[in-house]
Structure 1
Amino acid sequence: MRILAILKSKKFWCCLLALPFLLVGCASAYISMQPRFDHDEFAMRRAVATKAEELYQLSYLEGGAPTGQRVIFVHGTPGDSSDWYDMLKNAPDGFQFIAVDRPGFGQTRPDRAQTSIMAQAQALGPLITMPERGKPILVGHSLGGPIVAAAATLYGDKVGGIIIAAGALDPDLEEVMWIQRLGAVPPFSWLLQRELRNANLELIGLEDELRALEPRLKNIHVPVTIVHGTADELVPYANTDYMLREFTDTVPKLVTLEGTNHFLPWNARGALLDAITDMASRLPATRLVPVQSR
């Protein structure tokens, strides 16, 4: 009878529902105490002002050759520019690697969530539209995939090509769990560290954002390479079928990584570097003008 009374108690169910968020909140508090990566001999922290629905101070890491072929890396959710640190540290000769903190993450300010894919893409503008530096290659991982695709529709004549790594583009494959919606409202949202709270808001709105992006995909005319693992349980490999079908103004190159999971920036760096160097080899040669360090 005591057990039955407990099961009928509203307090019991409220505590049970809150438990995952309390655990995440404790983990988030620990994460927030960890020092943020600033710079070292391989990567320098910089920032640029940009406007995308609102003004941002876009923070990014820069490594490699200052006048080399630019490659701009866009992280997923949650995440930040340091997700790409190993790429920057191992930038091949003749390449400049840039990894951004997307709006809502890392050291970019203001730090509130920006759920619009087009606004996220627009925020990359100052790093893309640098005529003296040639056309950059954009690399997007996970939710960064649709963002670099959106950037190609906004800045098509300024972009050399895009690489979509484990990208989430198919709106029919997106699913929001009830616990995510619960985590988006107070008091549960108060328990989440900023990056996790912003990531949750992005994921809740992702399906609608992808449906709005869908008609624009046919306007992408730059080279596209898709890199995806068959063992990806977070962003299904079936996303590749959608991309091959929807990119109608270009012929994407598909790189399938057998048995590889979702975390390509960490466990498939070689495959991504191969995709980058392959795409760069197919771009028209551009005379780069030396620039002063900022």
Structure 2
Amino acid sequence: MKKVKPTEQIIKNDTLSLCIASIGSDTLPMLLLIHGAPGSLWGYMNLMDDEDLQKHFHIVSVDRVGYGKSRLKKRRFVTSIATQANALLPVFNLNKSDEKVTVLGRSYGAPIAAKLVSMVPEKVKELIMVSPVIDPEKEKFYWFSKWGRNSFIQLFLPGAFNTATAEKYSHSEELKKLLPVWQNLHVPTTVIQGGNDWIADPSNIDFAKKHIRSKRAQYIFLYNAGHMITYTHLAMIKEMLLKSQLFRDKITSVDVVGQ
């Protein structure tokens, strides 16, 4: 049996070009996937390739503005979380099902997903944040980070890396602007964090527990997991999406040991 491939399309208006890839019938409930930094819509291929998910969801993966073919007019980099989220709003128009959208964001895509959800909560079924970078006090820098800001060196780097560097150096301030969003987040929300994550500090889950006021929030801490949970724990992500077993209102915290 021949594998079905995602369909790529570009949503355009006067100021925006947004590249998306989608698979599954557009009359099914939408699963919207938002990547980190650097990243690409193709970083979710293992979810898009999954035949079980294809049968139950219209899976839509986006290139955030500044990545791939997605652009805002006259803007090379878009470091504003609010602007990034606003640029994704047209994707909701593709939802032809009678159900609300499930939004999944990982790493740098998680706070953008949260901001997006806060803008249209009536259109969202649930928010899933995987390996989130959301604590403004825990932004990680590396010895090579500063070299990425050198305009000469940038000439030799892929565009996605230069975009990611621009985002990185404004990320802490952008996360501070996001603080009011967490308190007003009332859709069912799941935060999944790995204990061996060297990119997103594991304490980001503590920040989430402190700031997210929703009574429909739950927290999954995978002690031995790294950053790429959507790959290493695909079966768990699938189970959550297909069965929604963990989305019961009374659950406030789940610690998964031995993963």
Larger Rg: 1
Both proteins in one fold, TM over 0.5: yes
| Alpha-carbon distance in structure 2 between the residues aligned to 1:274 and 1:212 | 33
- Report the equivalent of 1:118: 82
| Alpha-carbon distance in structure 1 between the residues aligned to 2:63 and 2:71 | 9
Residues 199 and 235 of structure 1: CA distance in aligned 2, closer, same or farther (over 3 Å) = same
Contact in 2 for aligned 1:144/1:167 (Cα 8 Å) = yes
Cα shift at 1:93: 2.2
Contact in 1 for aligned 2:239/2:245 (Cα 8 Å) = no
Equivalent residue of 1:240, what SS? helix
- Report the equivalent of 1:42: 5
- Structure 2, unaligned runs of 5 or more: 249-259
Matched residue type, 2:19: S
| Alpha-carbon distance in structure 1 between the residues aligned to 2:24 and 2:6 | 8
| Alpha-carbon distance in structure 2 between the residues aligned to 1:119 and 1:99 | 18
- Report the equivalent of 2:221: 256
Cα shift at 1:247: 0.7
Cα shift at 1:214: 0.9
| Alpha-carbon distance in structure 1 between the residues aligned to 2:114 and 2:68 | 22
- Report the equivalent of 2:120: 155
- Structure 1, unaligned runs of 5 or more: 1-39, 284-294
Structure 1 length normalisation: TM-score?
A: 0.76
Q: Which one of 8, 14, 20 corresponds to residue 60 of structure 1?
A: 20
Q: Deviations over 1:50-109 (max 9, x none)?
A: 58xxx2211111012321111000011111010001101112522111100111112223
Aligned residues: 241
Equivalent residue of 1:83, what SS? helix
- Report the equivalent of 1:102: 64
| Alpha-carbon distance in structure 2 between the residues aligned to 1:279 and 1:50 | 35
Q: Which one of 195, 199, 204 corresponds to residue 234 of structure 1?
A: 199
Matched residue type, 1:103: V
Contact in 1 for aligned 2:26/2:94 (Cα 8 Å) = no
| Alpha-carbon distance in structure 2 between the residues aligned to 1:258 and 1:87 | 23
Cα shift at 1:130: 5.4
Contact in 2 for aligned 1:128/1:135 (Cα 8 Å) = no
Matched residue type, 2:16: Y
Cα shift at 1:147: 0.6
Larger mean Cα displacement after TM superposition, 169-178 or 83-92 = 169-178
- Report the equivalent of 2:252: none
- Report the equivalent of 2:159: 194
Equivalent residue of 2:21, what SS? strand
Q: Which one of 202, 207, 214 corresponds to residue 179 of structure 2?
A: 214
1:204 aligns with 2:169: yes
Structure 2 length normalisation: TM-score?
A: 0.85
Equivalent residue of 1:255, what SS? strand
Cα shift at 1:195: 0.6
Higher helix share: 1
Equivalent residue of 1:138, what SS? strand
| Alpha-carbon distance in structure 1 between the residues aligned to 2:157 and 2:24 | 35
